[in-house]
A = this chain, B = another copy of it.
Amino acid sequence: MAQVTNGVGHVSPIFLDDMQIGDRYTSAEHALDEAQIIAFAAQFDPQPFHLDHDAAKSSMFGGLAASGWHTVAITMRLMVTSGLPVAGGIVGAGADVQWPRPTRPDDVLHVVSEIISIVPSKSRPDRGMVTTRNTTYNQRGEEVQVLTAKMVVPQRPV
């Protein structure tokens, strides 16, 4: 299995023909904090357990937790800026997301993206559909999110 580390944003863009199943890309890190969690929640997911430390204690989360969509958004930023260097950008067609445990205020997150499927398009020979499993880990190496995403990837221009 190929192992490719990025993490610094200096890898050349990769095309469909460069990809192999099992290739992995590791992103840089993002340090979360309570202010970021509350700011995202106030705008997009205004529920007590994402907004208020005390209210969160008596919720299912047992303490302040980031909105799952905040974890996704941070994951996307890490992938775009330092993770998977897809030529032409990361254009998602659809995705599945699981949150095995909450993301917390002091978490330092990074993402490991692995290519798990490559399907060249039959109707459009200049592109294909690639599925990646993008696992977001906290500073203890625990999975906080598994994002399986289908993306459109161009072939290298002839």
Q: Which residues of A contact B (CB under 8 A)?
A: 43-49, 59-61, 67-69, 72-74, 76-77, 80-81, 88-99, 152
Contact B44 A77 (CB under 8 A): yes
Q: Which residues of B contact A68 (CB under 8 A)?
A: 92, 95
Q: Which residues of B contact A94 (CB under 8 A)?
A: 96-99
In the assembled complex, how far is the CB of residue A3 from the closest CB belonging to chain B, in whole angstroms? 26
Chain A at the B interface: SS class: mixed
Contact B99 A96 (CB under 8 A): no
Q: How far is A43 from B80 in the complex, measured between Cα atoms in Å? A: 11
Complex: chain B residue closest to A90, CB-CB: B47
Q: Which of B67, B76, B95 contacts A97 (CB 8 A)?
A: B95
Q: Which residues of B contact A67 (CB under 8 A)?
A: 76
Q: Which of B46, B60, B76, B91 contacts A81 (CB 8 A)?
A: B46
Contact B46 A80 (CB under 8 A): yes
Q: Which of B45, B59, B77, B152 contacts A73 (CB 8 A)?
A: B45
Contact A44 B76 (CB under 8 A): yes
Q: How far is A90 from B59 in the complex, measured between Cα atoms in Å? A: 11
